[in-house]
Structures are given as C-alpha cells and as structure tokens.
Amino acid sequence: MSFHLHEVAPRQGFAWTRNGFRAFFRRPMALSSLFIAFMLAALLAMAVPAGGLLLVLALPLLSLGYMIATRSALAGGPVHPGQLIEPLRGATASPENAGRRKALLILCALYALATLCIIWLSDSIDGGRFERLQVLMASGQASESAQAEIEQLLADPSLRNGLLVRFGLAAVLAIPFWHAPALVWWGGQGVPQALFSSTLAVWRTKGAFLMYTAAWALVIGAFGFVAATVFTLLDARQLVGVAAMPAALMFTVAFYVSLYFSFVDTFGEF
C-alpha cells in the first residue's frame, strides 16, 4: 500500500484530540480493555529478568495495536486485546506479512535500544536521583525525613538537568517512531524508510502537533482545576487522587486512540 504525505492544517491537532475522545466514548470498555491487558502483561513481565526491557520493546506494538483497534471500531468491527499482537500472530503468516513482522520487531528493538541509551545518559547526569525520587513518591511516605529528602532532591540541579535530558530526548525519539509502526505494517515500508517518513511527516505537520500538544495540556489542566475545585468545595480534597485514577486511564486510552487520526490525516484514508 502506497502512502503520500498530505497537507495538514494546524487546527487539525485539536481535531485529533477531539476525535480520540469521540472514538473512545463509542467503545469505552472495549478500548480500555486493551490498555488494561497491556498493563497486566507488563506487571507479569516485571516479575521476570529483563522484564523492563520487554515492556519497552512492546511500546511500538501498543501504538500500532491501538491503531488497528481504532480502525476496526470506526468500521463497526470488533475491538479486543488480541489486536495488540495481531501483527505477530500466525494468522497473518504470509511471505509479505512475515517481512513486515520482521521489520516491526527490528523497529521495536531499535526503540528499546534508544530508550535504554536515554535512561543511561539521564542516570549518569542525575546520579540516580530520579530513581530515588520515584521510590519515595511511590512509597507514599509522609514522614518529615522523607518529605525533606524529596524537597532536597527537587532542589538539586543534577535532577533538573537529568529530567531535561530524559524528557527532551524522549520527545525527540518519539518523532521518528510516531508513524513508523503503521508505515511498516500497512505501508510495507522498511525500517529506515519508515523512520525517515515519520520524521518528515511530523516536521511537515509540526503546526498540528503543536496544537495537539496544547490540546492535551488544556484537557489535563482543565480536569485538574475542576477536580480540585469541586472536591475542595465538598471538603473532600483527599478524593482528588481517587478521581484521578479513572481519568488517567481515560486520557491514556483516548491518547492512543487519537494516534490513528494523526496517521490518517497525514497519510490519507486507506
């Protein structure tokens, strides 16, 4: 299948976010089940050696699986967790699909390698402070010593520099991999071509991606403001965290659903 780059107006970035939520609300339970299944598999993977590496390897397949599921949902078809691994299943075995499956696995390996390099570089800059901060935040310790250590870590320039490198390079890495899995699977492109095509496409549609980022920041910020205001008025601020959990699931799933619309707008219907 041949794809061609299309002109995309900046305002389409808002449409990607809006369409992501619209598609989500058409099949909320089914689309959420994909992410829940992925998280359960991730928990099981973390229990074995190199489980973290397996999780990172699977992230490009997660984005492609959601594109497959979203396309099916829009056509009135089934949506199920098996779509996350549809490109790897034996039912798709053919000479053409075997080549695409191999290219996808190479793409996953490259993504994992690049991610590990980013983590290594960031850890070398912050000296493990980010990992320590994660441990303290996850433990929920409320002691004065724990709070003092958290404040000390947040004020440490090494942590700030490490975070800038970590998230800055992660954002850069997302550019060549944004459309690449779909270009490999649906477009039949090789790994180098898919990475180049994705990078070129994101650059050509950078206005839309800027608006897309702004839309998500607005959605998350608005939720935080409304939730904090409502629960403060109800004198139940402790429930903000409870409300944030289902909201985080909804936002995450809607984000992955929106990937399909960014791809179709950029490369056309197929």
Q: Which tens digit of pLDDT belongs to each residue from 249-261?
A: 999 999 999 999 9
pLDDT at 93 over 80: no
pLDDT band, very low/low/confident/very high, at 79 (cuts 50, 70, 90)? very high
pLDDT at 91 over 60: no
Most trustworthy range by pLDDT among 100-114, 120-134, 142-156, 227-241: 100-114
Sign of CA dihedral 114, 95, 2, 79: negative
pLDDT bucket at 139, cuts 50 / 70 / 90: low
**pLDDT tens figures, 42-58:** 888 888 887 788 889 99
Rounded to an integer, what distance in angstroms lies between the CA atom of residue 14 and that of residue 214?
Answer: 8
Please compute the mean of the pLDDT values over residues 221-242 and round it to a whole number. Answer: 83
Q: Tokens at residue 246, please?
A: 């289902």
Q: Which residue has the higher pLDDT, 14 or 148?
A: 14
The whole-number pLDDT of residue 142 equals 55
Report the C-alpha gap between 174 and 171 in whole angstroms. Answer: 5
Average pLDDT over residues 71-91: 89
Residue 141 — pLDDT band, cuts 50, 70, 90? low
Of the candidates 209, 208, 206, 177, the one whose C-alpha atom is nearest the C-alpha of residue 194 is 177
Helix, strand, coil shares of the chain as percentages rounded to 5? 80, 0, 20
- C-alpha 86/C-alpha 144 separation (Å) is 50
Residue 173 Cα to chain centre, angstroms: 12
Least confident of 49-58, 195-204, 215-224: 49-58
pLDDT band at 5 (very low <50, low <70, confident <90, very high): confident
The pLDDT value given to residue 159: 81
Mean pLDDT of the chain: 89
Mean pLDDT of 205-215: 96
User: Could you report the per-residue pLDDT of 145-181, keeping only the tens digit for each?
Assistant: 767 777 777 777 888 888 899 999 999 999 999 999 9
Cα distance between residue 110 and residue 120, in whole Å: 15
DSSP assignments along 47-60, one per residue: TSTTHHHHHHHHHH
> Cα–Cα distance between 206 and 171 in angstroms, integer?
13
Alpha carbons 232 and 262: distance in angstroms, whole number:
37
Q: What span, in angstroms and rounded, lies between the C-alpha atoms of 24 and 18? A: 10
